[in-house]
Chain A
Amino acid sequence: MQDTENRRPPAHVGWRWALIGLAVAGSAVAFGYVGGWLAPERLSPKKIVDSLEANGGAHPGYRRNHAKGICVGGYFEGNGALQSFSSSAVFAKERTPVVGRLAIPGGNPYAADSSVPIRSFALRFDLADGEQWRTGMNAMPVFPVSTPQAFYDLQVATHPDPKTGKPDPAKAGAFFGAHPETGAFLGWAKTAKPPASYATETYQSINAFYLRDSAGERRAVRWKMVPETPETGDGSPAAGDTDYLAADLSKRLAAGPLRWHLIMTFAGDGDPIDDAAKAWPDDRKSVDAGTLVIDSWQDQATGPCRDVNYDPTILPKGIETSNDPLLAARSAAYADSYLRRTSEEGHLPGAARPKEAK
């Protein structure tokens, strides 16, 4: 270091301090902006999960959506038919264990099974090399909306009226009127009845993805799990039974495993890849990629699916996300929901305690 005895104070010392202050404050402001603290109007994962919580009620320890469900276990048996389209080992002729969860949409773990016509199926495939494929599928043909903002607005528009406990029809109607993209979903929902069994439903990926083959070619796909279990049509649940889905499932699994076929559907020219609210024509090329076998169930409070975040963007090599804006939003919002319930589980300071047995 130089000798500092005879140093004179620098010129314009005030300006120099101002410059330093500007550099520090400017960095802090930039960080605050990027982190969203200076942009409260921005749609954040927290806002989306808050809106779900507002609609489903506060249920510490539970998922903020699809709160009511049951864990299932089994394996996927690939048949090799997709190997020329994807480099993933999950499609080879081998077994991959799965940790799954069957559920109904909504944030209330005590909702009646008949309260909603949709059934959902989440799966985590645990590949031999440590890779994972996570997916969250729904038994419906399309998603109601195309964008995260519209999804958030839908939650706000369907917020239960404190007086009636039901969404205000005027608000909901105004939303659907302003969102013509909801037409396809509403057309389906008009005639959809709450299914009596998880086992007889076809679960769809809803969003599109890409398969990438070993040569590097990628093709847009959607997939669905098609059940081998036929609809019996006689087993409508007894009146007043609100928890028939879990009972039906345990009864069926006691009799033997349940099977679904993983059907991979390839987009045709001009099919919307990045819009989950639009269906693809029925005649698109489809490949049966293998059989999902479910042979056990566990209570969701203690089962292995409880602490899984079924983030649909966690994919093995050979499967990739599309640019559907809902995918990134699902990933971000699921992470927020997962942190909330694990914080409640871990009794972090400020986290609500899970009160009831889950």
Chain B
Amino acid sequence: MSREQTFHPFARALHWLMSIMVLSMLFIGAGMVSTVAEKHDWLLAIHRPLGVVIFVLALIRLAFRLTHPAPPLPVDLPLWQKLAAHGSHLLLYALMIAMPLIGWGMLSAGNYPVTMFAGVHLPKILPTDPALFAWLRESHRYLAWLFFLTFLAHMGAALMHGLIRRDGVLQSMTGGKAPR
């Protein structure tokens, strides 16, 4: 083996931790805006601090990724799949960073307190502006949809690598051995 075939253990740990967080976040968001039950309140209470944690972890992860290159894709992977892989990874990083910022900015523009937990809140990052609030709020919704669709493609592709091509790409993130 001349090259690293798996992601760094730190990158793998962050990947799996954040996959749980981001997926939870998407489901929490979809659930809390569609229900009038009591869970609306506590889902909202989780949504804000969890978003901030994802934002911080995403920045750490981006810095780590920029300093620790990913294992190369298989040489025989069709070009369109290579492009799709890079494009979707880029999109996932962009969304992990943009979504919390839009959420934070939207609450700022709506002049809501950006509450993390009782008595602790983040500062405003945008001026109070109802039109800006509405644009950001709707961006947050549609980008959440895009995020979920990108996740579906990402998961489908990972399973395709692991079950159909069996080319070691899935193992580069699970840390297992590629089947011979």
Binding site for B on A (CB under 8 A): 1-2, 4-5, 7, 10, 13, 16-17, 19-20, 23-24, 27-28, 30-31, 34-36, 42-45, 48, 129-132, 148, 306-309, 313-314, 316-318, 320-321, 323, 325, 327-329, 331-333, 335, 338-339, 341-343, 345-348, 351
Contact = CB atoms under 8 A, between A and B. Distances in A.
Given A1-B167, A34-B31, A346 B131 contact: yes
25 contacts: A1-B75, A1-B168, A7-B167, A13-B164, A16-B164, A20-B163, A23-B156, A31-B30, A35-B33, A36-B35, A43-B36, A45-B35, A130-B113, A131-B113, A307-B110, A309-B110, A317-B119, A321-B41, A328-B36, A332-B33, A335-B33, A342-B131, A345-B134, A346-B130, A348-B138
A338 B110 contact: yes
A216 to B, nearest CB: 11
B2 to A, nearest CB: 11
A148 B128 CA distance: 31
Contact of B34 (A10, A23, A24, A35): A35
A339 B137 contact: yes
B57 to A, nearest CB: 22
Nearest to A8: B166
Q: Which of B134, B156, B167 has the most CB of A within 10 A?
A: B134
A347 B135 CA distance: 9
Interface in B10-67: 26-27, 30-41, 44
A131 to B, nearest CB: 6
Interface of B: 5, 26-27, 30-41, 44, 71-76, 110-113, 118-119, 121, 123, 128, 130-135, 137-138, 148, 151-152, 155-156, 159-160, 163-169, 172, 178, 180
B134 A1 contact: no
Given A131-B119, A321-B41, 13 more contacts: A2-B180, A10-B163, A16-B164, A17-B164, A20-B156, A20-B160, A34-B31, A36-B30, A44-B34, A45-B35, A307-B130, A316-B119, A348-B138
Q: Give 5 closest A-B pairs by Cβ, nearest first.
A: A346-B131, A317-B119, A36-B34, A35-B30, A329-B36
Given A314-B112, A342-B133, A328 B168 contact: no
A332 B35 CA distance: 7
A23 B159 contact: yes
A1 B72 contact: yes
